[in-house]
């Protein structure tokens, strides 16, 4: 699992501290800020899709 995958998993589990740590790790490993933002955007899109399919509720969406 890449560090960007870990960032997205942190997002899904609402782990704010984990996101901060893993974003820093990604940048240290040479990922560009744009690559990190794209990974987070894809994760947020998946959260939105789950909300649309009624797999998540409004409180979950607000936490993300």
Q: Are 40 and 16 in contact (CB under 8 A)?
A: no
* Tens-place pLDDT, residues 10-41: 998 889 999 999 999 999 999 999 999 999 99
Q: Are 8 and 47 in contact (CB under 8 A)?
A: no
pTM of structure: 0.79
> What are the phi and psi torsion angles at 61 (to 5°)?
-65, -40
Dist CA 31 CA 45 (whole Å): 21
pLDDT band at 64; cut points 50, 70, 90 = low
Dist CA 33 CA 54 (whole Å): 32
Domain map (residue ranges) of the chain: 3-63
Q: Are 4 and 26 in contact (CB under 8 A)?
A: yes
């Amino acid at each position: 699992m890449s560090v960007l995958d870990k960032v997205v998993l942190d997002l899904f589990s609402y782990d704010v501290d984990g996101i901060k740590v893993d974003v820093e790790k990604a940048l240290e490993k040479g990922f560009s800020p744009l690559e990190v933002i794209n990974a987070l955007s894809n994760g947020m899109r998946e959260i939105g899709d789950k909300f649309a399919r009624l797999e998540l509720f409004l409180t979950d969406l607000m936490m993300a």
